[in-house]
C-alpha cells in the first residue's frame, strides 16, 4: 500500500505539510505518510518521546488507538491544532503566527470526542517481589512468518511497498512516486483495457487505487491484510456495484478455483513472505485462459548492477526476469508480455545523491526516468512488469 495521492483528505494533509515544513522540522504521522513526507516518523517509533519533541504531529481520527496513550493525551497541552479535515488533524508544537488555532472547529471537536471515547489504557502490573528495575539484554526478535526467507523484508499489514528511491541513504521523491504510480496505471490500461466483462481480483489492493481503472469489469474484488486501507477502499467505492474488499492473505485466498478472469499483483510480490505460494494461489483462482499482471523489483537492473560492481550493498533482494518467468511457469502461467518501469542511476551511486538531489523532483528529469524505463525494457529497468496467461 502506497500513499493514496488520489484520496483528497490524505493529499490535502500532505500538501499542507510540504508547504509549511522547514528543512529540519520533525514530523510524526501514520505510516503511509513516509511516501509523501519521507522523513516522517511512525507512531510506533516514538517510545519515550512527547509531542513537544516534534514540530508537526499528524493524527488520523480513525486510528487513535494506534498512538501511544500518554502521547495522545498530552497532545492538546503541548501542541496546537492548525489544520483539520474529515480524516486528519495536524498539530504544531510551535505554530507560526499566521496559523490559526482550529480547536473549535467540528473536525477537531470530533478528534477530542474520539480521544475521550477510547477505552482505558491497560494497567501495567507491578513487578513481583518489589523488584522494579531489571534489564535483560536480548537479541531483537524477527517476526515469525510462514515461509519467510532471511533476506526478504516482511510487509506488515498497512505498510507501504518499498521503492529503491525510498531506502536509507537514497533521495526519496514524492513527485517521482506519483509518476511511478501513473506509469503503472498506464500499463494496466495498456495490458487489460477497461477489463470489460471480467471478474477481476486485485491482490494487495490497499485503498483500492486501481479500481477506478477497471470501469467496465463485471466485478472487482480487492484483498489486503491492512484493515484501515480496506476501510478506505470500501468507503471510496461504496456506491459502485460489483466492488468488494475483503481482508485476506495472498498466500491463502479464500476463493474457489477458476473464480476470476484477471488477477493483479502490483506492488506486492517483493514484500510477501512466500511469493511462490501467492503466485500459486493467484494461478489457482484464475480460470483457464485467465491472466495475471505482476510487478517486482528487478535485481539485475542497471542501478543494482552498478551498486554490486562498486561493492555497495544492494538494499532490495528482487528477482530477475528469468526468475520471475520461471516462478510463473512453475504454477502453470505462461508469460506473454513484459515491460520495464523507470530507470535512474543517480540515487544509487556514492557521492552523486547530494549533487543530483534537486533533479529527483524535477518534472523533466522524472519524465526522462519514465522514458528510460520504457525504452530499456525489463532487463535493465528498476521494476519488471509482466503479464502471464493460465494454460
Say what the pLDDT of residue 352 is.
54
Number of structural domains, the chain?
Answer: 2
Say what the pLDDT of residue 346 is.
59
Q: List the grid coordinates of 222.
A: 480487492
Say what the pLDDT of residue 47 is.
77
Cα–Cα distances in Å, from 307 out to 299, 304, 317, 354, 373?
Answer: 11, 5, 13, 17, 18
Residue 186 is assigned to a structural domain of this protein: yes
- Average pLDDT of the residues in 94-111: 91
Percent pLDDT > 90 in the chain is: 48
CA distance 161 to 176: 14
| Ramachandran area for residue 345 (φ above 0: left; ψ -120 to 50: alpha; else beta) | alpha
Same domain for 221 and 336: yes
Residue 140 is assigned to a structural domain of this protein: no
The domain in which residue 89 lies consists of 8-117
Same domain for 173 and 83: no
- Average pLDDT of the residues in 86-97: 94
Q: Which of the two residues, 387 and 113, has the higher pLDDT score?
A: 387
Same domain for 170 and 102: no
Q: Which of the two residues, 134 and 32, has the higher pLDDT score?
A: 32
- Average pLDDT of the residues in 297-313: 85
Same domain for 286 and 222: yes
| Most confident residue range from 111-120, 286-295, 312-321 | 286-295
CB of 66 within 8 A of CB of 38? Answer: no
Say what the pLDDT of residue 91 is.
96
Q: What is the 3-state secondary structure (H, E, C) of 229-274?
A: HHHHHHHHCCCCCCEEEEECCCCCCCCCCCCEEEEEECCCHHHCCC
Q: Which residues contact 140 (CB under 8 A, 6 or more apart)?
A: none
Q: Beta strands of 107-206 (E only): which ranges?
A: 199-203
Same domain for 98 and 170: no
- Give the confidence band of 123 by pLDDT, cuts at 50, 70, 90: low
Say what the pLDDT of residue 144 is.
30
- Look at residues 83, 117, 151 and tell me which one is the last residue of a structural domain: 117
Q: Which residues contact 120 (CB under 8 A, 6 or more apart)?
A: none
Residue 134 is assigned to a structural domain of this protein: no
- Would the pLDDT of 155 be above 50? no
366-370 contacts, C-beta under 8 A, 24 or more apart:
366/173, 366/175, 366/176, 366/179, 367/179, 369/176, 369/179, 369/342, 369/343, 369/344, 370/179, 370/183, 370/342
| Torsion angle of C-alpha atoms 70, 76, 81, 84, degrees rounded to 10 | 60
CB of 378 within 8 A of CB of 339? Answer: yes
Residue 244 is assigned to a structural domain of this protein: yes
- Give the confidence band of 162 by pLDDT, cuts at 50, 70, 90: low
- Would the pLDDT of 145 be above 90? no
The domain that holds 191 is classified in CATH as 3.40.50.150
- Give the confidence band of 355 by pLDDT, cuts at 50, 70, 90: low
CB of 44 within 8 A of CB of 172? Answer: no
| Most confident residue range from 155-159, 259-263, 302-306 | 259-263
Same domain for 373 and 317: yes
Same domain for 364 and 302: yes
Q: pLDDT for 315-329, tens place per residue?
A: 777 899 999 999 999
Backbone dihedral angles phi then psi of residue 276, each to the nearest 5 degrees = -60, -40
- Give the confidence band of 121 by pLDDT, cuts at 50, 70, 90: low
| Torsion angle of C-alpha atoms 266, 270, 272, 276, degrees rounded to 10 | 90
| Most confident residue range from 56-65, 280-289, 352-361, 369-378 | 280-289
Q: Which residues contact 45 (CB under 8 A, 6 or more apart)?
A: none
- Give the confidence band of 358 by pLDDT, cuts at 50, 70, 90: low
Same domain for 259 and 384: yes
- Give the confidence band of 140 by pLDDT, cuts at 50, 70, 90: very low
Residue 382 is assigned to a structural domain of this protein: yes
Residue 311 is assigned to a structural domain of this protein: yes
Length of the chain: 391
Residue 37 is assigned to a structural domain of this protein: yes
CB of 294 within 8 A of CB of 324? Answer: yes
- Give the confidence band of 134 by pLDDT, cuts at 50, 70, 90: very low
- Give the confidence band of 39 by pLDDT, cuts at 50, 70, 90: confident
Q: pLDDT for 208-256, tens place per residue?
A: 988 889 989 999 999 999 888 899 899 888 878 899 999 999 999 999 9
Same domain for 253 and 177: yes
Say what the pLDDT of residue 253 is.
96
- Look at residues 51, 82, 117 and tell me which one is the last residue of a structural domain: 117
Same domain for 329 and 203: yes
| Most confident residue range from 92-106, 116-130, 137-151 | 92-106
Same domain for 299 and 203: yes
- Average pLDDT of the residues in 339-358: 66
Residue 101 is assigned to a structural domain of this protein: yes
Least Cα distance to 391 among 287, 291, 289 occurs for: 289
CA distance 75 to 72: 5
Say what the pLDDT of residue 161 is.
52
Say what the pLDDT of residue 345 is.
60
Same domain for 78 and 200: no
Amino acid at each position: 500500500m502506497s500513499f493514496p495521492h488520489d484520496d483528497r483528505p490524505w493529499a490535502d494533509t500532505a500538501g499542507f505539510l510540504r508547504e509549511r515544513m522547514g528543512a529540519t522540522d520533525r514530523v510524526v504521522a501514520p505510516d503511509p505518510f513516509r511516501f509523501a513526507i519521507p522523513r516522517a516518523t511512525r507512531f510506533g517509533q516514538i517510545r519515550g518521546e512527547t509531542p513537544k519533541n516534534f514540530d508537526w504531529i499528524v493524527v488520523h481520527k480513525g486510528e487513535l488507538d494506534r498512538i501511544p496513550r500518554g502521547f495522545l493525551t498530552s497532545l492538546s497541552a503541548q501542541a496546537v491544532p492548525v489544520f483539520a479535515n474529515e480524516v486528519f488533524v495536524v498539530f504544531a508544537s510551535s505554530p507560526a503566527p499566521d496559523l490559526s488555532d482550529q480547536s473549535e472547529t467540528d473536525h477537531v471537536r470530533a478528534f477530542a470526542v474520539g480521544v475521550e471515547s477510547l477505552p482505558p489504557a491497560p494497567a501495567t502490573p507491578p513487578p513481583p517481589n518489589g523488584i522494579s528495575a531489571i534489564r535483560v539484554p536480548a537479541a531483537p526478535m524477527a517476526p515469525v512468518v510462514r515461509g519467510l526467507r532471511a533476506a526478504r523484508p516482511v510487509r506488515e499489514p498497512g505498510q507501504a511497498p518499498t521503492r529503491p528511491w525510498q531506502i536509507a541513504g537514497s533521495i526519496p521523491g514524492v513527485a517521482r512516486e506519483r509518476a511511478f504510480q501513473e506509469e503503472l496505471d498506464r500499463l494496466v490500461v495498456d495490458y487489460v483495457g477497461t477489463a470489460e466483462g471480467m471478474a477481476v481480483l486485485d491482490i494487495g489492493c490497499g485503498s483500492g487505487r486501481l479500481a477506478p481503472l477497471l470501469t467496465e469489469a463485471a466485478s472487482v474484488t480487492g484483498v489486503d491484510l491492512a484493515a484501515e486501507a480496506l476501510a478506505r477502499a470500501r468507503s471510496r467505492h461504496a456506491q459502485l456495484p460489483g466492488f468488494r474488499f475483503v481482508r485476506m492473505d495472498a498466500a491463502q485466498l479464500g476463493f474457489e478455483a477458476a473464480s476470476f478472469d484477471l488477477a493483479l499483483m502490483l506492488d506486492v510480490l517483493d514484500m510477501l513472505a512466500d511469493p511462490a505460494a501467492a503466485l500459486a494461489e493467484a494461478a489457482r483462482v484464475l480460470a483457464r485462459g485467465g491472466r495475471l499482471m505482476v510487478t517486482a523489483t528487478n535485481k539485475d537492473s542497471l542501478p543494482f548492477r552498478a551498486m554490486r560492481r562498486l561493492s555497495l550493498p544492494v538494499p532490495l533482494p528482487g528477482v530477475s526476469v528469468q526468475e520471475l518467468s520461471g516462478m510463473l511457469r512453475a504454477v502453470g502461467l505462461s508469460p506473454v508480455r513484459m515491460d520495464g518501469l523507470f530507470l535512474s542511476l543517480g540515487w544509487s551511486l556514492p557521492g552523486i545523491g547530494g549533487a543530483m538531489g534537486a533533479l529527483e523532483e524535477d518534472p523533466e528529469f522524472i519524465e526522462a526516468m519514465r522514458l528510460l524505463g520504457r525504452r530499456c525494457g525489463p532487463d535493465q529497468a528498476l521494476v519488471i512488469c509482466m503479464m502471464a496467461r493460465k494454460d
